């Protein structure tokens, strides 16, 4: 049994290596036109963008453009009318930010009864969704062309935390006239928030409540062999890939993304395989099959992976080797020049003054329980830390499980209500 599992793992790893190469290649004939996909029988939801997909289910959303201090153009969405909210919107506004390789669509791919964006806006909160630099909604810059200028892709979680999160918070506050908001970050969406609190004094005070869903800070104990293998491969090959002009990774519209999206909707069998791949990625030893419905699996590969920079992926490979939550490690010499010390400085977790509610799973292969518990001990203002009761709850479940309304939403709602003024 053990050896069979090991062999399966090797086969999956080899296939993924091939797929990974395809993820960095874009060709002029991609992405495939939507009409062609529709005629090939792709599920409709997988072809729609955020505003279209929410409209499909009776929700009305707006699109907002935000420009960061360093010129990146980001797209945010705001759900202005929810299907099941018939009273006045609650305040303050809520900002929900996705994880690595995701977009705002991750919060709607599991449909109106499970997608967190739907559940939160149905409870009448004024919900805004962010998209960070490099994903398909936020692939713009006032000066740089992401298709031509490799400089565009020179970013890590450090820049996302320093520029994108503050810019999105400012936009929401300016637009709504509030001076504080409630923030929910999934995985990298929380990690980048911590970076902001450490590096941009004052910004943490603009947040009344921070809900960290599987918050990714330190990654020392990450169990997913596949995630480790992939990110560390990128770390090793970073210089070489960059010299070949490969700087954007796992983009929508790349050969592999198109292939995977095609393959995953092809038949019941392939669709099940795709669900298993998600599980292997998350945690190879015990999967949580059945938590993500077949329909969600078909839809989500139309929006996932959503793209990031080669450097950011490699950065995760670097983080997994460190016991600290620290700034980017350039190597001794450059560290000394930039930081004045051979080791990169730690992010200042004492500066995360916003009250934190942490929600995490015991079977999370990407952000390990031990690392979450390490983080919670370091943060000065933790009001509750909740381990999801279901022992199989894993990383992908946060966005794609059909059970979110019973497992994590009640706790999210409890605290949003507490930190709501009307």
Ligand X SMILES: *[C@@H]1O[C@H](CO)[C@@H](O)[C@H](O)[C@H]1NC(C)=O
Tokens read off for 183: 């923030």
Q: In whole angstroms, how close is the CB of 229 to ligand X at the nearest point?
A: 28
Footprint (CB under 6 A) of ligand X, residues 50-69: 51-52, 63
As given in the structure block, the two tokens for residue 309 are: 């920079």
Active site residue 187: yes
Q: How far is the CB of 55 from ligand X (least distance, A)?
A: 9
Axis crossing angle, helix 310-319 with helix 225-243, rounded to the nearest 10: 130
Nearest-approach distance from CB 70 to ligand X, in angstroms: 21
83 DSSP assignment: T
Three-state DSSP state, 30: coil
Element (DSSP H or E) covering residue 268: helix 268-282
- Secondary structure percentages of the chain, helix, strand, coil, to 5: 45, 15, 40
SS (H, E, C) 109-129: CCCCCCCHHHHHHHCCEEEEE
Burial class (CB in 10 A: 0-12, 13-18, 19+), 395: buried
Nearest to 266 by CA among 2, 42, 15: 42
**Which range of residues in 30-38, 44-52, 323-331, 365-373 is near ligand X by CB under 6 A?**
44-52
Nearest distance in Å: CB 268, ligand X: 4
Quick one: angle between helices 255-264 and 268-282, nearest 10?
120
Nearer to ligand X, 7 or 286 (CB): 286
* Cβ-based neighbour number of residue 41 at 10 Å: 9
Residue 339 CB, nearest approach to ligand X (Å): 12
CB 270 within 8 A of CB 382: no
- Smaller CB separation from ligand X, 300 or 351: 351
Quick check: is 291 catalytic? no
Interacting residue with ligand X among 150, 221, 276, 293 (CB under 6 A): 293
User: Is the dihedral angle over the CA atoms 289, 392, 359, 250 positive or is it negative?
Assistant: negative
245 binds ligand X (CB under 6 A): no
* Residue 137 binds ligand X (CB under 6 A): yes
49 binds ligand X (CB under 6 A): yes
* Nearest residue (CB) to ligand X, 304 versus 415: 304
Among residues 290, 336, 377, 418, the one that binds ligand X under rule CB under 6 A: 290
Cβ nearer to ligand X, comparing 7 with 294: 294
Stretch in the footprint of ligand X (CB under 6 A) among 174-182, 287-295, 312-320, 407-415 = 287-295
Q: Is 149 a catalytic residue?
A: no
Based on the shown chain and the rule CB under 6 A, indicate whether residue 205 belongs to the binding site for ligand X.
no
Which among 110, 187, 224, 309 is annotated as catalytic? 187
d(CA 179, CA 206): 6
Q: Does 270 bind ligand X (CB under 6 A)?
A: no
Sign for the pseudo-dihedral over CA of 130, 135, 137, 142: positive
CA 409 – CA 72 distance, rounded (Å): 32
Q: Which of 294, 321, 336, 383 binds ligand X (CB under 6 A)?
A: 294
- Residue closer to ligand X (CB basis): 204 or 216: 204
Q: Are 215 and 187 in contact (CB under 8 A)?
A: yes
Q: Which one of the listed residues 158, 364, 368, 397 is annotated catalytic?
A: 364
Binding status of residue 107 toward ligand X by CB under 6 A: no
Q: Which is nearer to ligand X, 47 or 229 (CB)?
A: 47
Smallest gap, in angstroms, from Cβ of residue 269 to ligand X? 7
Counting contacts by CB under 6 A, is residue 268 touching ligand X? yes
Q: Judged by CB, which is closer to ligand X: 22, or 140?
A: 140
d(CA 95, CA 76): 10
- Between 334 and 373, how does the x/- string for binding to ligand X read (CB under 6 A)? --------------x-xx----------------------
**Cα 387 from Cα 360, distance rounded (Å):** 5
| Size, binding site for ligand X by CB under 6 A | 14
Closer to ligand X by Cβ: residue 232 or 392: 392
Under the binding rule (CB under 6 A), the answer on residue 286 touching ligand X is no
293, 260, 138, 234 alpha-carbon torsion, rounded to 10°: 110
- Give the shortest CB-136-to-ligand X separation in angstroms: 8
Residue 45 and residue 25 in contact, taking contact as beta carbons nearer than 8 Å: no
Place of tokens 């699109």: 63
- Do the Cβ atoms of 329 and 322 come closer than 8 Å? yes
Residues with active-site annotation: 187, 364, 395
Enumerate binding residues for ligand X (CB under 6 A): 49, 51-52, 63, 75, 137, 268, 272, 290, 293-294, 348, 350-351
């Amino acid at each position: 049994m053990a050896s069979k599992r090991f062999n399966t793992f090797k086969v999956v790893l080899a296939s993924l290596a091939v797929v990974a190469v395809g993820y960095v290649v874009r060709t002029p004939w991609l992405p495939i036109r939507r009409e062609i996909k529709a005629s090939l029988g792709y599920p409709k939801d997988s072809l729609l963008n955020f505003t279209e997909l929410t409209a499909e289910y009776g929700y009305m959303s707006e699109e907002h453009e935000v420009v960061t201090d360093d010129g990146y153009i980001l797209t945010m969405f705001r759900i202005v009318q929810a299907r099941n909210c018939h009273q006045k919107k609650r305040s303050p506004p809520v900002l929900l930010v996705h994880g690595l390789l995701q977009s705002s669509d991750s919060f709607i791919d599991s449909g109106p009864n499970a997608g967190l964006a739907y559940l939160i806006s149905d409870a009448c909160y004024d919900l805004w969704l962010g998209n960070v630099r490099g994903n398909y909604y936020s692939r713009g810059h006032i000066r740089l062309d992401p298709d031509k200028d490799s400089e565009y892709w020179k970013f890590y979680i450090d820049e996302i935390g320093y520029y994108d999160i503050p810019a999105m918070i400012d936009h929401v506050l300016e637009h709504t006239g509030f001076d504080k908001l409630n923030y929910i970050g999934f995985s990298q969406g929380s990690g980048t928030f911590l970076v902001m609190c450490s590096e941009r004094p004052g910004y943490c005070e603009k947040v009344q409540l921070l809900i960290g869903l599987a918050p990714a800070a330190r990654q020392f104990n990450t169990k997913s062999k596949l995630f480790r293998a992939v990110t560390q491969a990128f770390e090793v090959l970073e210089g070489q890939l960059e010299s070949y002009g490969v700087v954007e990774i796992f983009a929508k519209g790349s050969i592999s993304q198109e292939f995977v999206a095609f393959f995953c909707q092809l038949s019941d069998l392939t669709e099940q395989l795709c669900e298993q791949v998600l599980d292997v990625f998350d945690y190879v030893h015990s999967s949580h099959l059945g938590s993500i419905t077949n329909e969600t699996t078909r839809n989500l590969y139309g929006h996932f992976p959503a793209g990031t920079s080669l450097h950011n992926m490699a950065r995760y490979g670097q983080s997994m080797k460190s016991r600290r939550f620290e700034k980017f490690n350039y190597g001794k010499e450059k560290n000394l020049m930039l930081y004045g010390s051979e080791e990169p400085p730690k992010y200042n977790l004492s500066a995360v003054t916003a009250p934190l509610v942490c929600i995490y799973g015991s079977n999370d292969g990407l952000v390990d329980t031990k690392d979450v518990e390490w983080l919670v001990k370091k943060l000065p203002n933790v009001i509750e830390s909740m381990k999801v009761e279901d022992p199989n709850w894993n990383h992908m479940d946060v966005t794609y499980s059909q059970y979110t309304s019973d497992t994590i939403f009640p706790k999210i709602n409890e605290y949003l209500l507490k930190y709501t003024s009307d």
